[in-house]
Amino acid sequence: MARTFGSEITNTTTRDETAIARKSLQVIADYYDVPITKCLTSQYGSGERVTVAMSAEDVTPAWLSNVLDNEVESFNTKLCSEGQVGITVLVTDIKYAYEQPSKMPSSLAVKMQGPGEEQRKNSGALGFYHKEIFAYHDFALHDSVPCDVPEVVGIWYDARDKYEELVYFNIVMRNLNEEYQPYQIALSDGVPTQSEWNEVFRIAAKMHAKYWNDPTIKQQPYAPDSTGMFKLAPVEEQLALSANDLTDSWRNAIKKYVVPRVPTGLQDAMPVFEAMEGWRGDAGAKIYRAALRRLESAPMTLVHGDLNPGNIWKSRSVGSGDGKFCFADWQLMRMGPAAWDFCTPQVGMESEAPCTASILTAIREYHSFLSTMVDTTGYSHDEFKTHVQCCTVLFWMFCFSFCHASMVVATETGQMDAGKMDFTWGTFMANIMRRAANMFKELEIKEFQQELLLESEI
């Protein structure tokens, strides 16, 4: 059985002895490149025998036996999700060495850090991995938000890095596929319809209402500081402000990698590039600052931060109400304006049948429903719409910079294999850019940025 470094440190060890022991373990662990595993929670046993799986290949029968505190003979695995932040390994058809005990899972999902070094470095520095663990463990999502969330079986991380900057981790969860159906964000007919988006935003509105101007979230780690004002974290801001140099690189990538697979790819994306043109030089920073100033009037609340269709699961048995959807992937949870939860959904809103959806309709329906739960006097629909526009600008500045290394650079340097390239550029990015372009048109982002730029020069 695998053994966790540091398990010999007992409660009777003095503080100085503990510090020396941990320092020695750190040196040994770094030398041999093995994790110092810390267990935060374990549904089966103490979890002390588990060593953090550093890659999908480390998810073995011996490893899963330690996780479940029960000998596992075999199982099947599938890499079911590889996003910009991390990966999810689906473990199915679990066979136990002895007769399967009651209530033991037959399948699980294992979330861990991404495979790329740059991907891990950026996500760790931005605190994305820590934030998701914080959400499930410290914040106790299951008891703290009025929506369905994944059930956690256990959480482990590599303590060689500080908790707030952790890079290697495993969150083992119940397999959502057993009770829910995933959307297929890469497909034109695989995303929510207008009525489904309205239902999703109604559930989000209940969470927003619960934490509306709540002082407990106006502090770290929900916010970068305790001012109570919305802002991006320093690293996020640095990335957003560097987007002014990436317009040509992204346009060339679409020409080179999307157009040969989807001839209309560049034309479909033009409203996005027209807006990105406005970021060149020091104009991008001026627009960025003006958008933040507009958001100073927005009430603060708790936002999920990434309600794209890939993080929304539809119940196989519940046809309506709060139980119809499960919200997963909480690594971008933060204090922010409710409008921030209208950013990543833009990559999953289709303008054509069969999944036709309008963000302006969603905004109107959301604001109307929110007004039944909180006092929106002085916070009109028009102002909320303006805040969605501001958040859209800030989000896409950050997004194009953050995704550049893992997509454009990875492709240009040959790190992305041919099979993944076909899917990434021919299916995924072609649809994402087309949808984003439609949202930019509907929200009139190019014109709105010009308005922000004029404000900054007054």
Name the region of 103 (left: φ>0; alpha: ψ -120 to 50; beta: rest). left
- Last residue in a domain, options 178, 206, 222: 178
Residue 210 or 100, more confident: 210
5 lies in some domain: no
| Residue 28 pLDDT exceeds 80 | no
366 and 438 share one domain: yes
Query: Would you tell me how many other CB atoms lie within 10 Å of the CB of residue 198?
Result: 17
Averaged pLDDT for residues 308-323: 89
| Residue 219 pLDDT exceeds 90 | yes
188 and 170 share one domain: no
3-class DSSP assignment, residue 335: strand
| Residue 4 pLDDT exceeds 50 | no
d(CA 24, CA 30): 10
286 lies in some domain: yes
Task: Determine the pLDDT at residue 1.
Answer: 35
d(CA 238, CA 111): 27
Question: Residue 300 CA to chain centroid, in angstroms?
Answer: 20
126 lies in some domain: yes
pLDDT band at 23 (very low <50, low <70, confident <90, very high): low
- Return the minimum-mean-pLDDT range out of 305-314, 359-368, 409-418: 409-418
The encoded tokens of residue 28 equal: 């040994």
**For the purposes of burial, counting CB atoms within 10 Å of the CB of 406, is it exposed (0-12), middle (13-18) or buried (19 or more)?**
buried
58 and 154 share one domain: yes
- Last residue in a domain, options 162, 178, 194: 178
Domain, as residue range, for 95:
15-178
CB 153 within 8 A of CB 173: yes
Place of tokens 């099979």: 419
Task: Return the closest-CA partner of residue 120 out of 417, 423, 405.
Answer: 405
187 and 210 share one domain: yes
10 lies in some domain: no
340 and 248 share one domain: yes
Place of tokens 């002085």: 378
CB 394 within 8 A of CB 337: no
Q: Helix 265-277 and helix 445-456: axis angle, to 10°?
A: 10
262 and 387 share one domain: yes
Task: Determine the pLDDT at residue 31.
Answer: 46
Distance (Å) of CA 216 to CA 137, 212, 335: 17, 10, 10
256 lies in some domain: yes
The encoded tokens of residue 76 equal: 């099947």
6 lies in some domain: no
236 lies in some domain: yes
213 and 124 share one domain: no
pTM: 0.90
CA quadruple 65, 69, 70, 71: dihedral positive or negative?
positive
341 and 321 share one domain: yes
Distance (Å) of CA 244 to CA 69, 199, 249, 406, 419: 51, 36, 11, 18, 31
209 and 160 share one domain: no
CB 153 within 8 A of CB 169: no
232 and 345 share one domain: yes
212 lies in some domain: yes
Query: Would you tell me how many other CB atoms lie within 10 Å of the CB of residue 35?
Result: 23
Residue type, 8: E
276 and 170 share one domain: no
| Residue 155 pLDDT exceeds 70 | yes
When divided into structural domains, the chain yields a total of 2
Q: Residue-wise over 207-233: b if at least 16 C-beta within 10 A, else e?
A: bbbebbeeeebbeebbbbeeeeebbbb
- Last residue in a domain, options 148, 178, 208: 178
pLDDT band at 116 (very low <50, low <70, confident <90, very high): confident
pLDDT band at 14 (very low <50, low <70, confident <90, very high): low
273 and 206 share one domain: yes
- Work out the mean pLDDT of the chain and round it to a whole number: 91
d(CA 238, CA 122): 12
pLDDT band at 30 (very low <50, low <70, confident <90, very high): low
At 335-347, the pLDDT tens digits run 999 999 999 999 9
CATH of the domain at 314: 3.90.1200
pLDDT band at 126 (very low <50, low <70, confident <90, very high): confident
The encoded tokens of residue 71 equal: 């000998």
